Amino acid sequence: MTHNTTTTAKKIAKIRYSGKCLFCGQSPVDGAHIYPAGSHPHLKREDANIIPLCRQHHYILDDDSGLIRAPENRIKLILVFTVNEYRAAVQSQISELYNIILKKEIL
């Protein structure tokens, strides 16, 4: 689902997975984009494109060198570092995201 504001999509992401960071289970969390908002503005407000991560892991996803990782590398990192408890749900969310991307490219 798309929202008019990124804030709403981020709020939804923050309550997914019980509001815990996918990588370490800590809270509070940020709403972190899977496909970066800067390079993929059309996915900025998609719920499926946002995951909850603590601030430290959000920085790591974005690359602590200050660069933004390529989407395929971000997805690999998410799949590797997500704790077992949330892994199936994250795989399902990423599948949903791919379906949204396919539809957007067709339309």
Q: Summarize as ranges the residues that interact with Zn ion (CB under 5 A).
A: 21, 23-24, 54, 57
Q: Which C-beta is closer to Zn ion: that of 17 or that of 35?
A: 17
Cβ–Cβ < 8 Å for 47, 100: no
Q: Which C-beta is closer to Zn ion: that of 28 or that of 41?
A: 28
- CB 24 → Zn ion: shortest distance, Å? 3
Cβ–Cβ < 8 Å for 27, 43: no
Q: Which C-beta is closer to Zn ion: that of 44 or that of 58?
A: 58
